[in-house]
Amino acid sequence: MRKSINNLFNINPKFSTTAAFVIGLILIDDLTAIEQNAVGEWLILLGQTLITNSGLQMVIENKISNNTININSKELKSIYNPTIYDINKTKDLLNKLYPTYKNELASLLKIIKKLEKEINNIKKE
């Protein structure tokens, strides 16, 4: 089953969209308006179930990995004023809310430097 689902994600998106459209058109001829509505509503419910589950799963995964940054938080909104921007206050707040962001940023910078070195080496060859 899992392999079949993985194959679904390797299909060309335009082909997949066209196939869904064609299947929908084929179903129109064999179903009454009430049956079309029932099948359509069922498919919408299927999609909503997948979207709801994946959305909640992403929230949980982000909380576990501490990747959640809420730009709508009262803390961030209280310091943001486009005409008066205090960078030190923002840094203090980020340190308080997201204590590991400096480590993550340093790791990303190291990775970028390594990639730049590799690119330069490739250019030299």
Residue 30 lies in a domain: no
For residue 95, give its domain range.
69-125
**12 is written with which tokens?**
């060309």
Confidence class for position 36, pLDDT limits 50, 70, 90: very high
Residue 32 lies in a domain: no
What local confidence, expressed as pLDDT, does residue 60 receive? 84
Confidence class for position 75, pLDDT limits 50, 70, 90: low
Would the CA dihedral through 114, 120, 123, 125 be positive or negative? negative
Q: How far apart are CA 69 and CA 80, in angstroms?
A: 15
Phi-psi region of 31 (alpha: psi -120 to 50; beta: other; left: phi over 0): beta
Helix (H) or strand (E) holding 95: helix 87-97
Residue 114 lies in a domain: yes
Q: Give me the mean pLDDT over the 103-117 stretch.
A: 87
- Is 0.75 topped by the overall pTM? no
Residue 97 lies in a domain: yes
Residue 21 lies in a domain: no
Residue 121 lies in a domain: yes
Our count of domains for the chain comes to 1
- At 49-61, the pLDDT tens digits run 999 999 999 888 8
